[in-house]
């Protein structure tokens, strides 16, 4: 069904059945406390008509801007465009939120159907010559308009978004661009669906109890419960999800099973089956290059990076290669230590990728007398979450209060009202912490409603943490603890936003700046003063002892060669793929192998994400995965300000809130950073904290 026909049918249906806007929750602002989505009212059949009505409404608003007889102004053109899609924005935020956190076959099918339609809708607007003429007319007057900094940013962003979307291309080029955008939209969805299918379909069932040797009791119990739920009682089920895979690689004595699981994970999307992603990623690289060259860039990386802090591929590559010179030698040293430990066992085995996590855990225990199983009882998920909330309270004066009566999309979801120090309402915050079949891997933050002017945000965090097992609550690893703080940092960026315009609010910032609020928030998680606040033994309530805190801090740079190198390898793979200037015969597997060989990456460390399951670069991080490391320079330097003045120093926290968390994309990110720190960032704290210096 094409868009025109679908809108006609919608209208006819409403006349036939006397439709009212009450029948579709998306047609008006949500009539709920705090404007939260009424999930109990939203049905699958509401989405498509809401998208159709939303596109119709947006087209009417765009037409009114274009046909306005008054001369183009900032208000009647730029602001009007910023506010041109109320219904479409409302339904998109809910639908695509659930597509990641609680998907099903119906949502997947509608996503695929909508992808080319939404691509066409976007192109129809961004390639609307009359609309661009009005925007360009305002842009040409920008120096005489006396705009505020935020208004100027909105004007710049709007104008550049049209140019970068092809407004200045010829009619023939624009037609080809439309074809490319449509194809990319469906390829991206297929890639992600293939990955989710692979993750859900892989199940390693263990029948012999002896094969569980080395695994903790809580893990064994959870694996038994998972197997029973999968219709295999009396067995134990292992999956590719981090909460299942990583502890198995960390503790399982059975080397053959570790190899089997590890190999399955690193070959996701690369098995020649119906979920294979090789052809998809090759097509994506080829289409992106064609698009970039059409826009006047030599490669896709430079096209993307022109709109970031880094600006050029050369700048990013110089940055990454500099870090590589520190990380790879450290990773090689770590490999030698692990091999020496294996040699002591006298089995004649050589270190492989499936051994790294296992022997790293043994080495951690030997060097630091620290076993993660000794730590986990102090990190019950509710306590960690409340600890992260307490940090936000001590820094910014805000309070998270559980709230009843707010509809959610799944029973696992908890809801909190966030209020400021004076008791005023800031926003609503949802948490969704545990894995399930309908949820994609990873952890992320997004919004059901962004802050804009007086409109307060509705923000959510989605994660995939260790589930409760039997009577044992969810107990987190150190990595999971940091992830929870990380995602709340993104949440604070959305919640504390104080911008006038939708397109600039919250996390609407360059990708290599967006990770600053999240990554700096991780720093508080392992501060001794903070650990004393929230790390309580789940059985005794005893605060974590100083002896354990000392062990945690002593091993803070342990295994950082591995961690940094696998992250860097993925970032360099991303950049190399998007630096190509000829993708005619692009073979992604050969390309990846050659790229890693040229780097000298050791065989025991694959990139954190190989190309066929690199969801980041299919989504919003194409030529942008370096951002985590770029922002790591910022966050380590920024946290130095807190260490210098006190980790809860109110003046430092106020400056960070007012210059970073509240400002969204309302100013150049380096200006925002300098306004907070008083200088540009220094790389030395990052190198020190990663044990590279």
The alpha-helical segments, DSSP class H, found in 67-104 are 80-82, 86-101
- Asked about 56 being catalytic, the answer comes back as no
Closest alpha carbon to 251 in 214, 203, 196, 288: 214
Query: 602-621 burial string, b = 16+ CB within 10 Å, else e?
Result: bebbbbbbbbbbbbbbbeeb
Cα–Cα–Cα angle for 515, 518, 520, rounded to 5 degrees: 100
Closest alpha carbon to 453 in 142, 664, 161: 664
d(CA 185, CA 116): 6
The alpha-helical segments, DSSP class H, found in 215-254 are 217-229, 242-251
Structure-block tokens of residue 19: 């439709």
Which of 334, 373, 487, 566 does the annotation list as catalytic?
487
Helices 105-126/44-66 angle, 10° precision: 0
**CA atoms within 13 Å, Cβ hemisphere of 211:** 16
The answer to whether 349 and 255 have CB atoms below 8 angstroms apart is yes
Structure-block tokens of residue 320: 């990454």
The answer to whether 361 and 667 have CB atoms below 8 angstroms apart is no
**CA atoms within 13 Å, Cβ hemisphere of 381:** 21
d(CA 391, CA 399): 10
The alpha-helical segments, DSSP class H, found in 369-444 are 372-375, 381-396
Place of tokens 């609309």: 131
Alpha carbon 644 to its chain centroid, in Å, reads 30
Name the β-bridge partners of 427.
418
The answer to whether 119 and 182 have CB atoms below 8 angstroms apart is yes
d(CA 258, CA 250): 9
d(CA 261, CA 468): 23
Name the β-bridge partners of 431.
414, 461
Q: Which residues are catalytic?
A: 487
């Amino acid at each position: 069904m094409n868009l025109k026909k679908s809108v006609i049918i919608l209208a006819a249906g409403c006349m036939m059945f006397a439709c009212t806007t009450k029948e579709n929750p998306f047609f008006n602002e949500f009539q709920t406390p705090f404007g939260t989505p009424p999930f109990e009212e939203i049905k699958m059949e509401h989405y498509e008509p809401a998208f159709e009505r939303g596109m119709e409404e947006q087209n009417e608003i765009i037409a009114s801007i274009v046909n306005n007889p008054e001369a183009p102004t900032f208000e009647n053109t730029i602001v009007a465009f910023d506010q041109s899609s109320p219904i479409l924005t409302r339904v998109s935020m809910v639908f695509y939120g659930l597509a990641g956190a609680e998907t099903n076959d119906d949502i997947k099918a509608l996503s695929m159907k909508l992808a080319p339609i939404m691509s066409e809708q976007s192109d129809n607007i961004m390639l609307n010559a009359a609309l661009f003429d009005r925007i360009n007319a305002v842009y040409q007057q920008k120096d005489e308009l006396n705009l505020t900094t935020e208004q100027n940013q909105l004007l710049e962003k709007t104008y550049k978004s049209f140019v970068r979307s092809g407004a200045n291309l010829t009619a023939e080029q624009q037609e080809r661009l439309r074809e490319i955008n449509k194809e990319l939209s469906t390829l991206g969805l297929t890639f992600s669906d293939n990955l989710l299918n692979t993750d859900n379909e892989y199940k390693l069932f263990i029948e012999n109890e002896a094969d569980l040797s080395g695994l903790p009791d809580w893990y064994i119990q959870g694996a038994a419960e998972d197997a029973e739920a999968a219709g295999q009682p009396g067995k134990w089920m292992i999956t590719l999800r981090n909460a299942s895979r990583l502890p198995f690689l960390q503790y399982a004595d059975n080397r053959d099973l570790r190899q089997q699981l590890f190999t399955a994970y690193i070959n996701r999307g690369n098995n020649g089956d119906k979920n294979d992603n090789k052809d998809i990623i090759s097509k994506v690289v080829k289409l992106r290059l064609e698009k970039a060259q059409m826009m006047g860039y030599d490669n896709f990386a430079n096209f993307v990076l022109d709109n970031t802090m880094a600006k050029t591929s050369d700048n990013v590559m110089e940055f990454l290669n500099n870090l590589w010179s520190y990380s790879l030698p450290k990773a090689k040293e770590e490999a030698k230590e692990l091999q020496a430990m294996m040699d002591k066992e006298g089995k004649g085995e050589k270190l492989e990728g499936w051994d790294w996590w296992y022997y790293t855990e043994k080495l951690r225990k030997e060097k630091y007398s620290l076993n993660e199983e000794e730590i986990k009882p102090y990190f019950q998920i509710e306590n960690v979450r409340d600890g992260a909330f307490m940090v936000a309270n001590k820094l910014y004066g805000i309070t998270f209060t559980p709230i009843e009566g707010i509809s959610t999309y799944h029973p696992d979801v908890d809801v909190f009202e966030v209020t400021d120090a004076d008791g005023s309402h800031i926003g609503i915050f949802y948490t969704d912490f545990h894995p399930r079949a309908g949820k994609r891997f990873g952890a992320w933050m997004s919004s059901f409603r962004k802050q804009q002017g007086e409109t307060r945000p509705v923000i959510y965090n989605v994660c995939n943490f260790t589930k409760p097992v039997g009577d044992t609550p969810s107990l987190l690893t150190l990595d999971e603890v940091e992830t929870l703080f990380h995602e709340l940092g993104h949440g604070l960026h959305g919640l504390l936003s104080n911008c006038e315009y939708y397109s600039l609010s919250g996390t609407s910032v360059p990708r290599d700046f967006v990770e600053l609020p999240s990554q700096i928030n991780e720093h508080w998680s392992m501060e001794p003063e903070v650990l004393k606040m929230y790390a309580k033994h789940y059985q005794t309530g005893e605060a974590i002892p100083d002896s354990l805190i000392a062990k945690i801090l002593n091993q803070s740079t342990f295994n950082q060669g591995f961690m940094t190198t696998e992250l860097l390898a993925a970032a360099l793979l991303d950049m190399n793929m998007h630096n190509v200037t000829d993708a005619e015969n692009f073979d992604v597997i050969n390309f990846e192998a050659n790229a890693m060989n040229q780097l000298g990456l050791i065989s025991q460390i694959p990139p954190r994400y190989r190309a066929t399951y690199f969801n980041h670069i299919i989504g919003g991080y194409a030529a942008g995965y370096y951002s985590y490391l770029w922002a790591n320079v910022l966050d380590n330097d920024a946290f130095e300000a807190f260490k210098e003045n006190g980790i809860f120093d109110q003046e430092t926290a106020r400056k960070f809130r007012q210059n970073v968390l509240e400002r969204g994309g309302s100013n150049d990110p380096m200006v925002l950073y300098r306004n907070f720190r008083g200088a540009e960032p220094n790389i030395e704290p990052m190198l020190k904290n990663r044990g590279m210096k």
